[in-house]
Chains A and B, each alone.
Chain A
Amino acid sequence: AQSVSQHNHHVILSEAASLELGCNYSYGGTVNLFWYVQYPGQHLQLLLKYFSGDPLVKGIKGFEAEFIKSKFSFNLRKPSVQWSDTAEYFCAVNARGNNRLAFGKGNQVVVIP
């Protein structure tokens, strides 16, 4: 079964700083990749996804993620964060053809105004 690793569980940074959250997965086959976000008091929602094609994926609110197949990675980036980006971010993976979605443990990101 696939597994997902996220490092640096707690991240604190100032507004306008750049953000990069790492995500690595363990599965040798074709995968679908996702980043979900949970803002304080809200439900989980999709930030961006990769199924195929251009490995650089752009999502909502200025976020992007790059799929590097050779590194089994799907890191999330944002060049300049805002206070409203304070949230918990989850990377998720499912093997193509298998609908069971495996999540990482999440990154708690706090942006200081």
Chain B
Amino acid sequence: GAGVSQSPSNKVTEKGKDVELRCDPISGHTALYWYRQSLGQGLEFLIYFQGNSAPDKSGLPSDRFSAERTGGSVSTLTIQRTQQEDSAVYLCASSLVQPNNSPLHFGNGTRLTVT
């Protein structure tokens, strides 16, 4: 079956521009996560969606970052007025939440480069 799909796979943008990153989770997975992976920094939690519940936004690094999940499926992560420190690989993952200890299935990520 299809895994988690992310697009674009690579994005180069100029400082100050806005970008949108897309994630298509595995069908039937109710939980969706965004992480950021920077070189040597591991995975940094950004935001978590679970069904119709209010998302856990506690990991978003600034108000330039926002995310939404429409219809409980596709999610977009938006970064406004990009800065060079936003350059990283942005990973999306989904999981079954019943039970709530299900492993995450990751996409291949979007490599964002801010010039």
B79 to chain A, nearest CB (A): 21
Chain A residues near B31 (CB-CB < 8 A):
99
The tally of residues in A whose CB lies under 8 Å from a CB in B reads 25
Chain A residue nearest to B91 in the complex (CB): A44
Given A45-B106, A49-B103, are A100 and B42 also a contact pair (CB < 8 Å)?
no
B98 to chain A, nearest CB (A): 11
Chain B residues near A43 (CB-CB < 8 A):
3-4, 106-109
Chain A-chain B contacts (Cβ-Cβ < 8 Å), number? 54
A45–B93 Cα gap in the complex (Å)?
A: 10
A61 contacts partner chain B, Cβ-Cβ < 8 Å: no
The tally of residues in B whose CB lies under 8 Å from a CB in A reads 27
**Residue contact B100 to A106, C-beta cutoff 8 Å:** no
Chain B residues near A36 (CB-CB < 8 A):
104, 106
**Residue contact A90 to B42, C-beta cutoff 8 Å:** yes
A94–B31 Cα gap in the complex (Å)?
A: 14
B65 contacts partner chain A, Cβ-Cβ < 8 Å: no
Interface residues of A (CB under 8 A from B): 6, 9, 32, 34, 36, 42-46, 49, 51, 90, 92, 94, 96-97, 99-106
Interface residues of B (CB under 8 A from A): 3-4, 31, 33, 35, 40-43, 45, 48, 50, 56, 58-59, 91, 93, 95, 97, 100-101, 103-104, 106-109
Closest 7 CB pairs of A and B: A105-B42, A103-B43, A44-B106, A46-B103, A32-B101, A43-B106, A43-B108
